[in-house]
Chains A and B, each alone.
Chain A
Amino acid sequence: KNQVEQSPQSLIILEGKNCTLQCNYTVSPFSNLRWYKQDTGRGPVSLTIMTFSENTKSNGRYTATLDADTKQSSLHITASQLSDSASYICVVSASDAGKSTFGDGTTLTVKP
């Protein structure tokens, strides 16, 4: 069964600090892995998308890594800002199916 597990479930950090969110998956055959940011009451917004051959991708202060061998991904947020407070969702797609498998998300709270 395809699964995506994210950790931690929630995280509180101080403004300006860095943090790393984890995503482990068992989706097969792998097509791509995407990280989304979802603000409360809004739809998810894409941060990064990585295919099998990519092991790192950046989008401003967000850097995602992918280890396809261990089936792990991380999202690193640098110099956090109050506006980074949101839920971060890891989504993995299989190449032989039209659906994606969603993680439960990590809720990040950035405090001043």
Chain B
Amino acid sequence: GAVVSQHPSWVICKSGTSVKIECRSLDFQATTMFWYRQFPKQSLMLMATSNEGSKATYEQGVEKDKFLINHASLTLSTLTVTSAHPEDSSFYICSGMREFYNEQFFGPGTRLTVL
């Protein structure tokens, strides 16, 4: 099956700092990548959809200046949480959609804790 990796798997940072999370599709080209946020005991919440080489489309209520998404290649997307605050602490999961398929493959997630 298609594999998606995320790095780092967990990160702790101070309030006000920026954190970058990488999402890579290891054995397929992901024309579309999705970023989700998940709070404890809640379902996945879609934050944004990104297509390679174009600007990301953000869901309503997600601040695009705070959550910077770059999808520079067919195998790499990054999410940067700028000026992080404790309320940004969450589990961030990315997924990639394989070209010509309508199936998503999820990364293992990144646990962000902002102190």
Contact = CB atoms under 8 A, between A and B. Distances in A.
Contacts of B6: 43
Given A36-B106, A98-B49, A100-B104, A41 B91 contact: yes
Contacts, number: 47
Interface string B17-35: 0000000000000001010
A42 B109 contact: yes
B79 interface: no
Interface string B39-55: 00001101001000000
Contacts of B95: 43
Interface residues of A, number: 22
A93 B46 CA distance: 14
Contact of A95 (B34, B102, B106, B111): B102
Interface residues of B, number: 22
A98 B103 contact: no
Contacts of B91: 41
Contact of B103 (A41, A42, A46, A95): A46
B84 interface: no
26 contacts: A31-B102, A32-B102, A32-B103, A36-B106, A41-B91, A41-B111, A42-B109, A43-B6, A43-B93, A43-B107, A43-B108, A43-B109, A44-B44, A45-B106, A46-B1, A49-B103, A89-B44, A91-B104, A93-B102, A93-B103, A95-B102, A98-B97, A99-B49, A102-B44, A102-B46, A105-B43
A41 B113 CA distance: 13
Given A36-B106, A44-B106, A46-B103, A89 B93 contact: no
A104 interface: yes
B105 interface: yes
A98 B104 CA distance: 10
